Amino acid sequence: MDAKIRLYVDQPLAPGQAVRLTPDQAHYLTGVMRLTKDTALLLFNGRDGEWRAILTDASKRGAIATCDSLTKPLHLPPDLWLLFAPIKKARTDFIVEKAVELGAARILPVQTRHTNAERIRQDRLQAHAVEAAEQCGATFVPEVADLQHLDRLLSRWPEDRRLYWCDETALGQPATITPATGPAAILIGPEGGFSAEEAARLRARPNVTPLSLGPRILRADTAAVAALTLWQAACGDWR
């Protein structure tokens, strides 16, 4: 029987490697999905690719899966970061999920003048990224960083990383990204937009490129998807 369930594990994967699954994973496999011993599943850890494994222990004591064969090598996404100002819980979850699906290598929530959320649950968002990777067939899980202030982030910004700033004041200009190589990042603002001071600071930086997302004002979660899509089509691994 073909393996249909994928799980992320934080353990080495190799031929014959026995992997003890977490209690939550064991409950999901045996209690929810009703899997039994000798059933096949897929495991990945973000380092060793994706492996077909056999459930060699499925009991009340827990579950153990033993690696059988490599089914997919590790595929790293392009060196693209997504910076975004957190919004309402469900829509922030959506941004993290779509960032994983669209191939962001790192996800950085940022605090701006008009950001609605003053704090996030970094561990919850990281778990959401893991779930998205399990569902979309990714072999890599991007880090979701803790919330940090935009000013502090810009003060330490690497000079070689191009930052595409989704500038709502550029409304109506062509929504294009010029093909380029090298590290990059996309910055999505809050629902209230960037403050005048933040916009001035961004415009003053030599490695920041303002980006229009077309003739319509987009919600923050829609803007994240649109900008990631534009970059992937022009510079990423979709070409």
Closest C-alpha among 108, 198, 184, 106 to residue 151: 198
Which pLDDT score, from 0 to 100, does residue 1 have?
A: 54
Residues 140, 51 share a domain? no
Closest C-alpha among 180, 144, 130, 190 to residue 160: 180
Angle at 158 between CA 228 and CA 138, to 5 degrees: 35
CATH of the domain at 100: 3.40.1280.10
- Summarised one tens digit per residue, pLDDT across range 5-36 is 999 999 999 999 999 999 999 999 998 999 99
CATH of the domain at 58: 2.40.240.20
- Mean pLDDT, the chain, rounded, equals 93
Residues 133, 96 share a domain? yes
Residues 128, 96 contacting (CB under 8 angstroms): yes
Residues 106, 26 share a domain? no
Residues 66, 104 share a domain? no
Residues 168, 120 share a domain? yes
Residues 185, 96 share a domain? yes
Residues 166, 224 share a domain? yes
| Number of domains, the chain | 2
- Summarised one tens digit per residue, pLDDT across range 183-235 is 999 999 998 899 999 999 999 998 999 999 988 889 999 999 999 999 999 99
pTM exceeds 0.85 for this model: yes
Which pLDDT score, from 0 to 100, does residue 178 have?
A: 85
Report if residue 13 sits inside a domain: yes
Which pLDDT score, from 0 to 100, does residue 175 have?
A: 73
Report if residue 143 sits inside a domain: yes
- Summarised one tens digit per residue, pLDDT across range 81-140 is 999 999 988 999 999 999 999 999 999 999 999 987 778 999 999 999 999 999 999 999
Residues 124, 51 share a domain? no
Which pLDDT score, from 0 to 100, does residue 128 have?
A: 96
Report if residue 172 sits inside a domain: yes
Report if residue 1 sits inside a domain: no
For residues 141-150, average pLDDT: 97
Residues 21, 134 share a domain? no
Taking each helix axis as running N to C, give the angle between helix 89-101 and helix 220-235, from 0 to 180 degrees, rounded to the nearest 10: 10
